C-alpha cells in the first residue's frame, strides 16, 4: 500500500496534476491525472492507494486523454465517426478507449453522421460549388453510409443545381480565350463541371439558360491561332490535298464550323 505524499499542479497544463507516492522512506512520481479524476476519487495528500486503484486511475486517465483529444479535434469543425476513429488511432490510443470515447461522443450528439453530412453538403456546395456526385464520393471516403448521404443530398435540388451552374457559366463567358472556338470553350466548361460532380443532364439544362455569344471576329482569331499550330504540326509530314485534309479534320475536332474552316483554308491557299 502506498500513500499520496504530494500533489502538484502541472506548470504547462493547469488542468492536470502530478501525483507523488511514498512507500516507506522513498517518495517518487507515480502518475498525472486530469482534474476531473482528482475530484472524482478524492485524491488528497495522505490518502492510501493500492496497486489495483493505481492501475484503474491510469486507465481512466488514458481514456480521459483520448476524450480531450477528441474534443480538441472537434473544435476546428464537425467530424464524421470514421474521421474521429482514424484521428485517435493516429494518436495511438487504445482501441477500447477509442470505442468508449466514440460511444460517449455519439450519446452526447457531438458525433452524428447525419448532421455531419448535412453540414458538409451545405458548406461545400456554397463555398466550393461541388456537385452531388463529388459530395457523395467525399462523404463515402469519410465513412458516411449511402443512405445517410442520399437523405442529406435531398436538400440539394436539381433546380438549385441548374440555377447555380447557370450563374457560374454566365461569369465564365468573360474569361473566354480568343484561342478557343466557342464549342471548344463550352466543352472545356462542361468538363470542369463534370469534375466538380454535377451530372451531364444538369449541365445540359444549365447551358440552355445561357446565350453564349460568339463574335465573328473572336471565332476568326481563334481559328487562325489553332490553324497555325496545326499547320506547323503537319507541314513537314504531308503535302497537297492530304495536308489540307489533316488541317480541316483537326480544326473540326476543335469545335469550329465547317463554314468557318472552309473560309480559313481558302484564305490560306488550300
At 216 the pLDDT is: 65
Q: At what angle do helices 81-90 and 51-74 cross, to 10 degrees?
A: 130
Are 100 and 60 in contact by the 8 Å Cβ rule? The answer is no
Are 81 and 117 in contact by the 8 Å Cβ rule? The answer is no
Arithmetic mean of pLDDT over the chain: 90
Are 235 and 198 in contact by the 8 Å Cβ rule? The answer is no
Instruction: Quick: pLDDT tens for 49-96.
Output: 989 999 999 999 999 999 999 999 999 999 999 999 999 999 999 999
Instruction: Quick: pLDDT tens for 139-163.
Output: 999 999 999 999 999 999 999 999 9
**Rounded CA separation 156/161 (Å):** 7
Provide the 8-state DSSP code for 174. G
pTM given for the model: 0.72
Give the pLDDT band of residue 240 (cuts 50, 70, 90): confident
Instruction: Quick: pLDDT tens for 189-224.
Output: 999 999 999 999 999 999 999 877 665 667 787 888
Amino acid at each position: 500500500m502506498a500513500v499520496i505524499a504530494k500533489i502538484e499542479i502541472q506548470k504547462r497544463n493547469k488542468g492536470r496534476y502530478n501525483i507523488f507516492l511514498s512507500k516507506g522512506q522513498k517518495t517518487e512520481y507515480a502518475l498525472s491525472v486530469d482534474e476531473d479524476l482528482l475530484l472524482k476519487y478524492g485524491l488528497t495528500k495522505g490518502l492510501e492507494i493500492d496497486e489495483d486503484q493505481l492501475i484503474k486511475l491510469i486507465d481512466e486517465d488514458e481514456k480521459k486523454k483520448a476524450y480531450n483529444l477528441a474534443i480538441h479535434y472537434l473544435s476546428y469543425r464537425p467530424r464524421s465517426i470514421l474521421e474521429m476513429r482514424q484521428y485517435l488511432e493516429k494518436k495511438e490510443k487504445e482501441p477500447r478507449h477509442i470505442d468508449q470515447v466514440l460511444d460517449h461522443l455519439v450519446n452526447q450528439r457531438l458525433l452524428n453522421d447525419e448532421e455531419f453530412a448535412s453540414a458538409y453538403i451545405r458548406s461545400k456546395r456554397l463555398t466550393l460549388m461541388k456537385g452531388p456526385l463529388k459530395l457523395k464520393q467525399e462523404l463515402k471516403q469519410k465513412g458516411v453510409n449511402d443512405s445517410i448521404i442520399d437523405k442529406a443530398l435531398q436538400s440539394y435540388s436539381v433546380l438549385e443545381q441548374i440555377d447555380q451552374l447557370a450563374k457560374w457559366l454566365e461569369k465564365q463567358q468573360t474569361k473566354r480565350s480568343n484561342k478557343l472556338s466557342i464549342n471548344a470553350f463550352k466543352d472545356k466548361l462542361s468538363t470542369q463541371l463534370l469534375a466538380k460532380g454535377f451530372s451531364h443532364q444538369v449541365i445540359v439544362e444549365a447551358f440552355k439558360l445561357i446565350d453564349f455569344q460568339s463574335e465573328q471576329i473572336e471565332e476568326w482569331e481563334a481559328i487562325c491561332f489553332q490553324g497555325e499550330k496545326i499547320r506547323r504540326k503537319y507541314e513537314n509530314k504531308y503535302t497537297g490535298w492530304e495536308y489540307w485534309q489533316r488541317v480541316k479534320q483537326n480544326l473540326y475536332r476543335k469545335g469550329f464550323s465547317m463554314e468557318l474552316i472552309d473560309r480559313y483554308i481558302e484564305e490560306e491557299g488550300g
